[in-house]
Every structure is written in structure tokens, then in C-alpha cells.
Structure 1
Amino acid sequence: MDEVGTPDSSRIWDSASYADGKIVENSKEGFRQLLLNHFPDPDILLNKNRMPERAALAEDNLLPEAVLMSVSETYTGIAEKITGEKITLPEDPKAEIIAILAEQYDLIV
């Protein structure tokens, strides 16, 4: 089963731009295309039979912080449009996630 209606599974377009005849896509596609164009052999990222090579590629290549923040801004922007509220990022997101998993779900001891 896959998720529906998320930036990972769906193409979310800006309605005002769409009304003007322009498609402004808010999804993971920009990041996906960046990765496919960045590496000399994009088949590693597309071919599920090459998972060991994909894992090595991930271990050997750090993504620039600007790229990661751009992806984060895409998702945050979508969430803000859906909820109508400003998303405030925590000072230490990793610590917050760990605390929630431990305190609310008993998944971390």
C-alpha cells in the first residue's frame, strides 16, 4: 500500500499559477531530477536490481545542505498551504523526534 495525497505520491500544483495556465509543481520531483542529473549513471537510482550500488552511492556522497533545505522548504510550504498555519521548525528536530518516539510510542528505551 502506498500513501495518497502527499508530496511523495502526488503532484501538488499551485492553484493560482495553474489558473494562469502555468504548472508550478510542489513535489519531490525536483529533488528526484537533481539526483538523476547529478550522478553519471542514473540507472543506479532507478534500477531496483542495483540496490547494493545504490547503498554505496548514498554512503559515498553527501548532499549539500542547500539541497536538503530546498526539499524541506517544499514540504513545509505544502504543509503551510494545507493547514493555513506557519510551520515552526524545532531547534533540534532529531531530539524532538526521538523524544516523541520514546515518550508517546515507547519505541525507544
Structure 2
Amino acid sequence: MPTKVIAESKLCGFRTLITAVSDGQITRLKLDSGCFKVKSYGELLVAVRKEDLYRAETSPIFARAHEARLTPTCIVPVAVMNACWIENQLISKNLALDNKELKIIFVE
């Protein structure tokens, strides 16, 4: 069953639905978003190899984000990485579903 993750930033007002499906070595990705930069990112990033999930500095998840000119504060690439980790059983899907969300809290 595919892994679906929503990245929602109230700062920019956009919501992105990320769908990840793994066949064991390749994870196929689909991004649905109202943001034109994220749409471009989704066109550049259609699949990743399992080995691409272990090091951020060499992962196409972040390289394609740079190519698509996403801002450094965009939460979509991190959400994509989390979706891939869940889909590849590197994060427990049950644990993720039980906790529902990750947060950044601005304090002051």
C-alpha cells in the first residue's frame, strides 16, 4: 500500500500531497501541489533509489529541490524524505500514523 504524506506550510499557504510507492529498490513519487515550484520539483523527482535515502548531501531529494529553486525553508523535501523512509520501512508506519505530524514551533 502506498505511503501518503501531506506537507502543509501556513507560512506560504500551500499544501502538498506526497505519494510514495516502493518496489524494494526504487521508490516512485508523485507530488500534488498548488505551488508552481513544488510542481516543477515533482516533475524533476519521479523516483529515488533506496541508497539515496541515507545521506542528505548526496540525495536527489535535496538536489532536485535546489534545481527547482525551492526555498531553503520549504518543508516539502523533508516531507518527501520522511514519506520515502516510511515506505521503505526505515521509520515505522504505525509510529508515524500514531503521532500524525511533525512540527516546527516558532517561540519568539
Give the TM-score taking structure 2 as reference length: 0.29
Per residue, is there more helix in 1 or in 2? 1
Greater Rg by CA: 1
Per residue, is there more strand in 1 or in 2? 2
Q: Using CA pairs below 8 Å that are at least 6 residues apart, which structure has the higher relative contact order?
A: 2
Give the TM-score taking structure 1 as reference length: 0.29
